[in-house]
Chains A and B, each alone.
Chain A
């Protein structure tokens, strides 16, 4: 038995290790349960993801958002040698940016598991275990500060998602999951070579063999890294492509609609809620601070792609008949706006981008969840198969309308804050960009309102819908916290903005403020 002081110290010094591996511990426990012991599986799933969420909140409380720059990582830093021969460290830390996304991750994973207990899911044990391992990968990617460690967690996310889509997905799940894996892997393997090359150059110029961001970022901004222009450009793209595939930015987005449509609801929620954000997080954490010169140089190109993405995603979404596909394409559009905000390069736009990452995670997660509720009951996602179901399912309808309005960006709801800040920041950077981006938002309002109108209002023409039952307790328990956050963060977004302000300022300062020509 440990005495209490050592155990607290252990929790304090290594709270991030606990945070990262607690879900995997749950998955390990599941290994010893029978697939038939449904309640035990649920209990382990809830316990593991709930405890992880609690730990993430504890980290949030310990975190001091007032510390600026890279020093912000210092108080909770975990730093141990891992492969000392090659300077690879077990180095983890959080700043405001990663912390916001960590809490989003732990919350969404918990809610996804809660939600899945309200649905009939075969092979539940494997399902829960896959989400828990995925959670380890996601949190690990967000807290890792050693590039190799980051890459390890980044790839760890791949396998459970491959299984989640491939086993519990829809008809074309194998095609979708292979496409997802190959696209992601193509990007990340390129980044892998980039990481190795970056450390090689760093070792030659500074004499220090390291993969630590805490060394790389100062070396990059002070110029001691000594990358030539070509090297920096190549490295920037090696990293940026991995992240832009994940975001996904047009024209790298084609895996996303397939993956979303075929994934089970829980998979879609995590995909939209967290995995896509890891792409934009990677841009903010790696691609831009490490290679600011190249980031500035290629900002116009990426901005054009992002603008195409905003309009194209919205346009294609408007043409969809399948609800899930529509929401998937709306993600393409919304995330393109986030990328635009990131590359606008001022504090307003980048803060808005971070806010929108959270907001999109909540609203799109909700939309996927509610589409999943309908699909569970009717086994169709065609809008034409619904219509006028508001009177049958009043609670679902209410939740859907709030989520939809949040996604559209109605003032008072969370989506508005992010979109407004992004547009305000982009406007400062480039008026034409802002104007084009705004049209995407108008299109967004049109297709989301049309979706709601077609599914929930109007005459109820389909007989099969008459017996439709409303959202059940588990499903509601999953949706409700997200709705609350959509409203609360819409009215009072300041805590999140305060939390991320220093991280955002650091990135913007490193990128030399002048990212926009």
Chain B
């Protein structure tokens, strides 16, 4: 074993984007402390940093740090999602944070650190590295949840997310320890070899370990019954930060789940994992959609909708074949564009971050804020899964894979969920365009950065909905790079 201490330039290049994002985050914090007048420039610095990190991420795939970290098309895919989410959240956050004088460098630094953590987590080929990435991502998010620390809901969100997240982390560690205790390694490739050498996957110790690891990931994804934190955190957290929280970290956790499962279950998903994931999917879809129907607060509604949407992702996991993984990745990318669009528009149409976000506030906004209202409408249609949006493409691929694998119950539950979801997604559209305004907004203006975000997101939702081939090709390459 060459060990960690021997580090080659190639190793460093593999974690180039993460390192760069971390350093940039530190620089932003220092700039905020010593050059406060630069604050208006922070979003631009962040955007430039994201672009640079994306450039640094264009390395040749391969394993590094003696196999503890592995870059592949798959990690590249997640890198892109994470960087896109950071960029879009930054675009949407600036106007809002500047208005409330909360545009400290730490906000952008936390975003960058969280993104770096989740990128590292996906690259981890060793469960310990995965854990480090997971914690780095999560701790930054805990802090961001309580960004408006004088708002009681925000502190509540921060505390709740932290306590429950810490609990989930211990689950992950417990699972990791159990797996190590049984097989003597935390390296995924070694584990795979050990299993192939006759160590039964049916071993109860291993099953408990894997169950604990999957529970921790399900917590991050917010699948029922690990969802309880989501509505409160969504409600209390700064809205553009929720746009990030609800998309990229979930995508990363799903990809880690895919990696772990396909390493430890190379021969396909047998008992009890497929029934277990199916149950998670069904519960999430039914519970999320039905409870969302009863919500009158936009962000809570979107939280429950997110639980339901991740239920569709769980269908992809339960189906567990190449086509299903491709569908899952496409779904996650589409969900990212759609959900970020939804949250940025909600932020733009609300009375401010310190106020609640009741659905009724949207009344008549179609006339007063047509730009933001159109983006929100498009996001709702895409979340419903109506063509020609990217939301439809994601559902098409996931359902196709499920039907192809003979999982009709999952497909039918998914269809039923989509029908129910039309009830509350279209209610948003109804408030925007068909209800008389309850309040007058004083000549609001869309700021340039949000405008850019809207245009990018609208284009992504529609163009990828009509011409999904580039996205599909990327997802396919990503899935093919999975260890087989």
Contact = CB atoms under 8 A, between A and B. Distances in A.
Interface of A: 83-86, 148, 151-152, 155-156, 158-159, 162-163, 166-167, 173-174, 178, 181-182, 185-186, 189-190, 192-193, 196-197, 199-200
Given A152-B387, A186-B419, A196-B404, A167 B396 contact: no
A223 B387 CA distance: 32
Nearest to A153: B387
A189 B415 contact: yes
Given A186-B419, A189-B415, A192-B415, A167 B433 contact: yes
A85 B426 contact: no
B423 interface: yes
B386 interface: yes
A189 B421 CA distance: 13
Contact of A189 (B387, B397, B418): B418
A151 B430 CA distance: 24
A174 B403 contact: no
Interface residues of B, number: 29
Contacts of B359: none
A196 B400 contact: yes
A327 B243 CA distance: 49
Contacts of B404: 196, 200
A171 to B, nearest CB: 12
A189 B419 contact: yes
Contacts of B426: 162, 178, 181
Contacts of A162: 426, 429
A166 B476 contact: no
Contacts of B381: 159
Contacts of A159: 381, 386
B65 interface: no
A200 B408 CA distance: 12
6 contacts: A151-B387, A174-B430, A178-B423, A192-B415, A196-B403, A199-B400
Chain B interface secondary structure, helix, strand, loop or mixed?
A: helix
A178 B479 CA distance: 39
B399 interface: yes
Interface string B385-408: 011100010001101100110001
Contacts of A163: 433
Nearest to A198: B403
B283 interface: no
A182 B420 CA distance: 9
A53 B476 CA distance: 42
B66 interface: no
B437 interface: no
B419 A185 contact: yes
A177 to B, nearest CB: 8
B194 to A, nearest CB: 35
Chain A interface mostly: helix
A182 B423 contact: yes
B482 interface: no
A181 B434 CA distance: 15
A493 B412 CA distance: 45
Given A85-B472, A178-B426, A185-B422, A148 B396 contact: yes
Nearest to A165: B434
B469 interface: yes
Given A163-B433, A200-B403, 16 more contacts: A83-B469, A85-B476, A148-B396, A151-B387, A155-B386, A155-B387, A155-B392, A162-B429, A181-B426, A185-B419, A189-B415, A189-B418, A189-B419, A192-B399, A196-B399, A197-B408
A63 to B, nearest CB: 27
A199 B396 CA distance: 13
Contacts of A166: 430, 433-434
A83 B468 contact: yes
Contacts of B418: 185, 189
A182 B422 contact: yes
Contact of A158 (B386, B403, B408, B472): B386
B314 to A, nearest CB: 18
Contacts of B387: 151-152, 155-156
A435 to B, nearest CB: 40
Contacts of A156: 386-388
A85 B329 CA distance: 15
A159 B412 CA distance: 23
B245 interface: no
Given A155-B386, A156-B388, A182 B419 contact: yes
Interface string B430-441: 100110000000
Nearest to B415: A189
Nearest to A166: B434
A190 B415 contact: yes
Contacts of A83: 468-469, 472
Rank and list the top 8 A-B pairs by shortest CB-CB distance, nearest first: A152-B387, A196-B403, A189-B415, A166-B434, A200-B404, A196-B400, A155-B387, A197-B403
A497 to B, nearest CB: 35
Interface in B283-340: 326
B393 to A, nearest CB: 8
Given A85-B476, A152-B392, A193 B419 contact: no
A193 B411 contact: yes
B147 to A, nearest CB: 36
A379 B114 CA distance: 60
A28 B476 CA distance: 33
Nearest to A189: B415
Contacts of B434: 166-167, 173-174
